[in-house]
Structure 1
Amino acid sequence: MFQSFEATTRPQDGPPRLAALRERLLRAGVTGWLCPRADAHQGEYVAARDERLAWLTGFTGSAGFAIVLPDRAGLFVDGRYRVQARLQCAAEFTPVNWPETRPADWLRAALPNGGVIGFDPWLHTPQEIETLTRGLKNSAITLQPMTNQIDPLWADQPGPPAGPVFPHPTEFAGESLASKCTRLAQSLTEAGETAALLTLPDSIAWLLNIRGRDLPRLPVAQCFAILHAGGHVSLFLDDTRLQPGVITQFEGIVTLRPPEALEPALRTLDGPVRLDPATAPQRLADVLTQADIAISRAADPCILPKARKTEAEINGTRAAHLRDGAAMAEFLCWLDTRVKALCAAPDTNPLTEIDIVRALEACRVATNQLEDISFDTIAGSGLNGAIVHYRVTEASNRNLRPGDLMLVDSGGQYRDGTTDITRTIAIGPAGEDESRAFTRVLQGMIAMSRARFPRGVAGSHLDALARFPLWLAGQDYDHGTGHGVGSFLSVHEGPQRLSRAGTTKLEPGMILSNEPGYYREGAFGIRIENLVLVQPAPALDGADDRDMLAFETLTLAPIDRRLIRADMLTTDERAWLNGYHTRVRNALTPLATSATANWLQQATAPL
């Protein structure tokens, strides 16, 4: 955990690497370079070899990009990462608030006399390049595809991942790969398409009922595939990586071809070929265009079906959350004991953020069913909690102190489901500001949990429910309220989300996080997160005959009662919390050790 890529991305390394890149760009005859945090598959998680943005700048967040020019280097990050970017990067890299500042506008201001900006077409989507090109229209700035300019400078760049690929049983998936391929191929035929180019590893993993170990935290194999309208799939993957059982389930449906055969195979297709302009690399769009093959621009055909979980996936996710909740209860009981000792004698009973990460991960390992954690555990105490996606390192590790808030965001990957939970814990008596902010965040989380809404509603319609209590106090948070979650796949899964940008209609079977927060830079951070499942809403007596949906809360873990201002809660809010805690207690007590069972009685007592 702590020997991470961050160990090679010290802030002082940035300036000489930046200078070397500028010298190379000068020799190549270009003015600047686009450096995204991306790989050829455009996923959130990238292999160590693709961490070019971190290598160059020191910034290790999961989203962002840099634009390097001769006299400046802008690091574009959203609200989740602005504090982190300032802490991790040398002064030569200027954080830019994105998406508030568009890269085209920044370039126009920086290059009033024009210039040539190079980019690697494997690392950008057609949508990205077209948006930037439109933004630069009528300027003297042009874009130029090139081979990657950072790789030759990165002397110890890791090799490409080549982990094992193994079957994902139908008992967990709920549908065979033959059924999925037939169903999706029919949608291509109905759209008049001959094939679909699949570039997202989690889409391919879902479609073919496989999983892999190419990336940390995300159980996929990095590969490409072509789904043909007849239901056959061409998979571009080294067959030596396949574990027993994969070839058998592929028989008659999937043809294996080496990765280097992808571009030649694309050139032989008859169009139109579906290509998702938001997720495919520009390079593959160029290959089809240069071969004069018609492109049908449409969403990856796997994305929406993958989001609608089968009954098997739903039941597996419930089982995973019960197991994970028991592990969380053991951890929270352990933490409570350690906090009491810390507050009694801070100097003789120290407790660090790394101690917390290791203890929590050990509790999940003790289930004997953990495949991996679902993302690097976030354990931010005090001012570190205000860094939304903080990752503790040996350098940043902080001793907890009485009066701190401790924000712990974590999750597990199990064969039957993926979990993601955040709890904020009081380290001794909490201040008035902290308790009031915590209660407002809780009120927002409860409001979303209780929501009933008609079919056709999207996340953008619901996002304000979680923010309203904070807005009344002039407060807010700079991230979405919730993201989609996969089934033994990505902990951040689209297209569904609870945010102002969430336009996908919510449907039964979709799983999302519900995680409002509040962050005061230099002081503390608060977030409370449960996962929820979209379900048909229970009927109400006397209600209109309208088809309504609601959320089922999947996460099972106590919420710290010591931080709640009960006088701020309404009767309905108090009833929801007490009902939730009763459910948590009844579900987890039979799985808990005797010490944790006793602790659960206190932690879930009615307000």
Structure 2
Amino acid sequence: MNSKIKQRINNLRGKMQAHDLQAVIIPTSDPHMSEYIPDHWKTREWISGFTGSAGTVVITQTKAGLWTDSRYYLQASQQLANTNIILYKDGLKETPTITQFLKSNLPSKSNIGINSETTPIETYRIWEKELINLSLNADSNLIQELWDDRPELPKSQAYIYDEKYAGKSSKSKIEEIRDKYITSSSKKILITALDEIAWILNIRGQEIQNNPVVISYLILSQKSCDLFIDSKKISDELKKYLKDQSINTHEYKDIYPFLSKIHETEIQYDPKVTNVKLTQSLQRSVVKKETPSPIALLKAIRNKKEIENIKRAMIKDGIALTKFLIWLETNINSSITEIDISNQLYKLRSQQDLFIGESFDTIAGYKEHGAIVHYKATQDTNATLKPKGLLLVDSGAQYLDGTTDITRTIALGELSSEEKLDYTLVLKGHIALARAVFPEGTRGSQIDILARLPLWENRKNFLHGTGHGVGHFLCVHEGPQSIRMNENPIPLHLGMLTSNEPGVYIDNSHGVRIENLILVIPFGDGLYSNYYKFETITLCPICTKGIVKEILTDQEIQWLNDYHKKVYDTLAKHLNNKEQEWLKKATAKI
């Protein structure tokens, strides 16, 4: 494969020379800036061989580099071997930025090619500002000329997402957006994020693996709602539904000529998820208002029905996970592999009501593979489990009534003292965040330290975020809220669902991560403010075999015992006698 990558880069360099380009930038994105993208837009993967969900490739006539974050350091170093592509580890102080790399490797007035359809306007502006004396060519799509067997765009049917799961009608959502954000008859909102469009219209699809969204654009004004979607994806039933909702439909590719015909109006869009080509299509008379999407916040605050539904989904997920843990313990001496883990989880979840699929590809990393944050076992790497060491399993499901995401690190047998310490430190951080109480208006960055402090005190850390938003039968990673070290101005609101997933990763040894989903709920009125707390809604035993009990506080022990009582009381009634007996032992007080 790596010889193919070298040849592709050489062919690209030939095209670059023919087009007078001294460099090209190839991001991981589609025209909607999605995290997970259809095969048609996996240009960065095609040119580099790196399969992670985040990263940017830069190629000059003499050098090639890939920039990616800490989740993929190990994976990228393995997949880039013998490709002549250098790995640049984003987040480390010694790593140059992409613009610093280009400025130091290109002569003045060099031309840099980018694809305007897969580059967000915010990023383009940053590059334009920082690349002084260099020129950006926004209409370069050279890979289209080279990728002979490029997959077609998805053509699967979209479908209606029933209001009994969504909790609100599409009409009510559109009216709320109009009332709050479209205050003038000359104003429009351009919506490009696929999860936002699916949420507004109560439609779903199956075009992107694990993400039930529909490839489309949406433009909202006071009087109209225009959806741009491939007409082949619209069934008669959906066509009637959209008409009943007063939604006009256009072909997906017609978004650009449609925008070019708009005059004397204000168009609001989110520069982080709106591509350059869209903004270039707008006339000069159009007032461009760039602001974070207001839809993301509306979507992130769960309504009453959504909360009821996700809690039901968590019970089903907990049943499947309990059965999985019993299967794992029973078969640990039967030469099961990391791929077997993924297959068994899928099998058990598929037996649950309203199961649609996985919310992401299962991460099952045994021993040193657990240190690869977004590891995915292949036939070449597939490790056989043994009754010793740690197994990290990060998995999730898509049910019609909700999206789940859970990580458990499981002691399969004898552990080293370092493994036990790391496991306990991560558990302490997880509990600290789960127990957090905070005033209204608190941001995730202000409480992130709770999950990290036990690790920091032992001179350890993790480089990924501690918590991300989770969609409602939508994408497993959503915003606008987050819990991480980086500043995020969005406060935590009542009804937000966020992950709690501290970890620690020791290269070539082991990885530990413990993840539950937490819901922001009221704690009560207090001095100067209303106060909030988290309700942990994931239901699955946390492995106790690796805990160093002596370094847990009484409060931490009480939290764990209370959590396990909730798990047992909620799940036991859905299990047979043998399964109940196992769960009782797994959730026993420590």
TM-score, L = length of structure 1:
0.94
Tell whether the 8 Å contact from 1:442 to 1:528 is kept in structure 2 after alignment.
yes
Match of 1:533 in 2: 519
Q: Which moved more, 1:189-198 or 1:488-497?
A: 189-198
Rate the CA distance shift 1:524–1:62 in 2: closer, same or farther, 3 A: same
Task: Work out whether 1:293 is the aligned partner of 2:286.
Answer: yes
- Give the C-alpha shift of residue 106 in structure 1: 1.4
Match of 1:229 in 2: 222
Q: Deviations over 1:513-549 (max 9, x none)?
A: 000000001111110000001111156xxx6473001
Q: Secondary structure at the match of 1:512?
A: strand
Return the offset for 1:173: 1.2
Which residue does the alignment assign to 2:584?
A: 601
Q: Are the counterparts in 1 of residues 22 and 106 from structure 2 also a CA contact under 8 Å?
A: no
Match of 1:469 in 2: 454
Q: Which residues of 2 match residues 119-134 of structure 1 at below 5 A?
A: 119-134=114-129
Q: What is residue 6 of structure 2 aligned with on the other side?
A: 15
Distance of 1:205 and 1:464 partners within structure 2: 34
| 1:59 equivalenced with 2:53 (yes/no) | no
Conserved in 1, the CA contact under 8 Å of 2:184 and 2:222?
no
Matched to 1:586, the amino acid is D
Aligned residue in 2 for 1:364: 349
Q: 1: distance between equivalents of 2:571 and 2:548?
A: 25
What is the rounded CA distance, in whole Å, between the counterparts of 2:299 and 2:16 in structure 1? 42
**Deviations along 1:445-502, whole A, 9 cap, x unmatched?**
0000000000111111011100000000000001000100010001000111101223
**Structure 1 counterpart of 2:206:** 213
Q: What is the alpha-carbon distance in structure 1 between the residues aligned to residue 236 and residue 505 of structure 2?
A: 48
Q: 2:436 aligns with which of 451, 460, 467?
A: 451
1:437 to 2:414 alignment = no
Matched, 1:583 2:580: no
- Give the CA deviation at 1:249: 3.0
Aligned-pair distance for 1:97? 1.8
Structure 2 CA distance, aligned partners of 1:253 and 1:291?
Answer: 29
Which secondary structure does the structure 1 equivalent of 2:78 belong to?
Answer: helix
Q: Which deviates further from its counterpart, 211-220 or 82-91? A: 82-91
1:345 corresponding residue in structure 2: none
Residue 252 of structure 1: CA displacement? 4.9
One-letter amino acid of the structure 2 residue matched with residue 489 of structure 1: L
Equivalent residue, structure 2, for 1:387: 372
Counterpart residue type for residue 532 of structure 2: L
In the alignment, structure 1 residue 569 sits paired with structure 2 residue 563:
no
| 1:12-53 CA-partner distances (Å, limit 9, x unpaired) | 432111111111111111001111110001010100111111
Q: Which amino acid aligns with 1:580?
A: Y
Deviates more, 1:168-177 or 1:431-440: 168-177
For residues 538 and 226 of structure 2, the distance between their equivalents in structure 1, rounded to whole angstroms, comes to: 38
Alpha-carbon spacing, 1:191–1:526, altered in 2? closer, same or farther (3 Å):
farther
Q: In 2, distance between residues paired with 1:28 and 1:505?
A: 47
Aligned to 1:167: 160
Q: Are 2:157 and 2:235, in contact at CA under 8 Å, matched by a contact in 1?
A: yes
Contact 1:188/1:195 (8 A) holds in 2:
no
Alignment check: 8 A CA contact 1:319 1:416 kept? yes
Moved more, 265-274 or 322-331: 265-274
Structure 1 residues 285-321: Cα deviation after superposition (integer angstroms, max 9, x where no partner): 1111x45322111122311100111111111111111
Deviation of 1:416 after TM superposition, in Å, equals 0.7
Give, in angstroms, the shift of residue 427 of structure 1: 1.7
Matched, 1:182 2:179: no
* Structure 1 residue 553, shift from structure 2 partner: 0.5
How many residues align structurally? Answer: 583
The answer (yes or no) to whether the contact 2:26–2:114 under 8 Å persists in 1 is yes
3-state DSSP of counterpart to 1:190: coil
CA distance in 2, matches of 1:311, 1:477: 34
CA contact (8 A) 1:458 1:504 kept: yes
Amino acid in structure 1 at the alignment position of 2:549? A
CA distance in 2, matches of 1:46, 1:574: 42
Does the CA-based 8 Å contact 2:173-2:200 persist in structure 1? yes
Larger displacement relative to structure 2 (448-457 or 392-401): 392-401
Checking the alignment, whether the CA contact within 8 Å between 1:14 and 1:89 is kept in structure 2 is no
Stretches of structure 1 lacking an aligned partner (at least 5 in a row): 1-9, 343-348
Matched with 1:71 is: 62
Aligned residue among 136, 139, 160 for 1:143 = 136
Partner SS, residue 265 of structure 2 = coil
- State the alpha-carbon separation in 2 of the partners of residues 582 and 245 from structure 1: 46
CA shift, 1:594, in A, is 2.9
Contact 2:444–2:484 (Cα < 8 Å) also in 1: yes
Please list, as runs of the form range in 1=range in 2, the aligned pairs for 1:238-249 lying within 5 A after superposition.
238-243=230-235, 245-249=237-241
Amino acid at match of 2:176: R
Are 1:83 and 2:74 an aligned pair? yes
Report the Cα offset of residue 120 of structure 1.
0.3
Deviations 1:385-414 (A, max 9, x none): 100000111121111233221100000001
Q: Check whether the contact 2:170–2:245 (CA below 8 A) recurs between aligned residues.
A: no
1:346 aligned partner: none
Structure 1 equivalent of residue 97 of structure 2: 102
| Residue 271 (structure 1) aligned with residue 262 (structure 2) | no
Asked if the contact 2:171/2:245 (under 8 Å) is kept, the reply is no
User: What's the counterpart of residue 520 of structure 1?
Assistant: 506
Question: 1:601 and 1:472 mapped to 2: Cα distance?
Answer: 34
CA shift in 2, pair 1:177/1:390, >3 Å:
same
Matched letter for residue 228 of structure 2: F
Q: Distance in 2 between matches of 1:11 and 1:515?
A: 34
**For 2:122, what is the secondary structure of its paired residue?**
helix
Identify the residue that residue 427 of structure 1 maps to in structure 2: 412
Q: Percent identity?
A: 36
The AA in structure 1 aligned to 2:319 is A
Asked whether the equivalents of residues 192 and 272 of structure 1 are also in contact (C-alpha less than 8 Å), the reply is no
Q: Give ranges in structure 2 of 5+ residues lacking alignment.
A: none
- CA separation in 1, counterparts of 2:3 and 2:131? 33
**1:25 aligns to 2:16 (yes or no):** yes
Q: 1:417 aligns with which of 395, 398, 402?
A: 402
Whether contact under 8 Å (1:275, 1:285) holds in the other structure is no
Contact 1:57 1:90 in 2 (8 A): no
Q: What amino acid does structure 1 have at the position aligned with 2:280?
A: D
Q: In the alignment, which residue of structure 2 is the partner of 1:480?
A: 465
What is the DSSP-based 3-state SS (H/G/I as helix, E as strand, rest coil) of the residue aligned with 1:295? strand
3-state SS of 1:356 partner = helix
| Counterpart position of 2:112 | 117
Distance 2:344 2:182 in 1: 52
- Measured after TM superposition, the shift of residue 503 of structure 1 is 2.6
Paired with 2:280 and 2:368, the residues of 1 have a C-alpha distance of 47
Shift of 1:112: 4.6
